[in-house]
A = this chain, B = another copy of it.
């Protein structure tokens, strides 16, 4: 997926949108590069987003109405800030619930006790 130092990158498939939406729910507005750095920080370096995964996903979430953008000029450079739309805000709650349901089901199948930290 988005490059990881863990052994099974496939596991992460499908969670990138959830990660992005959650970060934007916590931080009001962020730009692409900032998201990659925040993920690296929060995961203790275990998760490193590639741009090839990030930007197409941001564009898709925007096209689907979950995100809005505003361009900010910094000297000659243009930075694109993303923030949640009202629809986006609702979907964050839903997606985290879905993720928790998924984990709960996987714990049952894999016989994992639900108190790992």
Contacts and interface: CB of A to CB of B under 8 A. Distances in A.
Interface of A: 6-15, 18-19, 22-23, 26, 39, 42-44, 46-47, 94-112, 114-117
Given A11-B99, A101-B46, A110 B6 contact: no
A44 B102 contact: no
A111 to B, nearest CB: 7
Contact of A116 (B22, B23, B100): B100
B8 A109 contact: no
Contact of A117 (B11, B12, B42, B104): B104
Contacts of A111: 22, 26
Contact of A42 (B10, B108, B115): B108
Nearest to A114: B117
Contact of A8 (B7, B95, B107, B114): B95
